[in-house]
Chain A
């Protein structure tokens, strides 16, 4: 028997809703002090992992999110026994507590912005050609040509990034007004201009969605994609180094209680 974990929750009570996890087994709370971890029991190792497992994991976390502040645990985090779960909770307690307080009543939205990198690069090349039309280069030796080529590529990349940064600043300034925190990934590929996560107060999610709709209607070649609301996957900050601890014996007199309520 293994213990499969879904999320850390800000509760040391039984989970009153009936939630089924992987293998259709009920999800329950193992609590430590004033927080808990939502888990279910697995009779045996998952042999063939499918997308259904992934979606089920996410579904459980989202159901928990309806009633609790959650820190989603990454997919396929299993423990051998409850004592190990409790040890982990004890080790991470202050981190979990801090994150739960910071993320209370907040949700995550994902925004991806796509542009045509090729079009932008062509536009930059055209502009550069116009501005250098009057400059004639007489030396056409292979060395000079090579250096010129490299320099032009460098210049093009630099201008491309400058253009991206200009657009992203505008967009991010706009969305940041509705968000408490953000994570931005810029130019993951030539066409994926921005991949951003915004942490938004639950009560401001309507404003955020409305802002997205307004941004989407802005004339131009940008494509906007919105996903969410999500549990705050991208905003969990753990200071503890997970690799440093190894299982220890938990004294029998710790006063730790285990809730088996389903």
Chain B
């Protein structure tokens, strides 16, 4: 299972972000400590930008080369 994280971390980062940030069990309400939304948006953008940069580097390469290998 670690393959998703370790094999092609840069490329899968977008996939990780897509899931981790707002999917799964989302609990809100007074009981949960919320960090400032702006922080979360910021980290999302910051990570996204670095992922886009990676994608840019890989642009032109066949998609098969970009694809992560599932384990």
Across the interface, do B24 and A49 meet the contact criterion of CB distance under 8 Å? no
Known pairs A50-B43, A65-B1, A242-B28; A74 contacts B13 (CB<8 A): no
Across the interface, do A54 and B20 meet the contact criterion of CB distance under 8 Å? yes
Across the interface, do B33 and A2 meet the contact criterion of CB distance under 8 Å? yes
Q: How large is the interface on A (under 10, 10 to 19, 20 to 34, 35 or more residues)?
A: 35 or more
Across the interface, do B1 and A66 meet the contact criterion of CB distance under 8 Å? yes
In angstroms, how far is the closest chain B Cβ from the Cβ of A54?
6
| CB interface residues, A 65-88, toward B, < 8 Å | 65-66, 71-80, 84, 87-88
Residue A243 CB within 8 A of the other chain: yes
Q: Which of A21-29, A150-158, A162-170, A220-228 contacts B (4 or more CB under 8 A)?
A: A220-228
Specify which of A46, A51, A110 is in contact with B47 (CB 8 Å cutoff): A51
Q: Which of A10-18, A55-63, A123-131, A254-262 contacts B (4 or more CB under 8 A)?
A: A55-63
| Number of A-B contacts defined by CB within 8 Å | 145
In angstroms, how far is the closest chain A Cβ from the Cβ of B29?
5
Chain A residues whose C-beta falls within 8 Å of the C-beta of B4 in the assembled complex = 58, 62, 227-230
Residue A121 CB within 8 A of the other chain: no
Chain A residues whose C-beta falls within 8 Å of the C-beta of B19 in the assembled complex = 58, 72, 230, 233-234
Number of B interface residues in the complex (CB < 8 A): 42
Chain B residues whose C-beta falls within 8 Å of the C-beta of A230 in the assembled complex = 4, 15, 19
Provide the bound-state CA to CA distance between A227 and B16, in Å: 10
Provide the bound-state CA to CA distance between A226 and B15, in Å: 10
Chain B residues whose C-beta falls within 8 Å of the C-beta of A110 in the assembled complex = 15, 18
In angstroms, how far is the closest chain A Cβ from the Cβ of B57?
16
Known pairs A73-B24, A228-B4, A233-B23; A244 contacts B29 (CB<8 A): yes
> Other CB < 8 Å A-B pairs besides A45-B35, A229-B1, A230-B19, 5 of them?
A73-B24, A79-B31, A110-B18, A225-B66, A225-B67
A-B contact pairs, 30 of them (CB 8 A): A2-B33, A45-B35, A46-B35, A49-B43, A51-B43, A54-B21, A55-B5, A55-B9, A58-B16, A59-B2, A62-B5, A72-B20, A72-B24, A74-B25, A76-B35, A77-B26, A79-B32, A80-B33, A84-B31, A88-B31, A114-B63, A205-B70, A224-B63, A225-B67, A226-B68, A227-B15, A230-B15, A233-B24, A236-B23, A236-B24
- Rank and list the top 4 A-B pairs by shortest CB-CB distance, nearest first: A72-B24, A233-B19, A233-B23, A62-B1
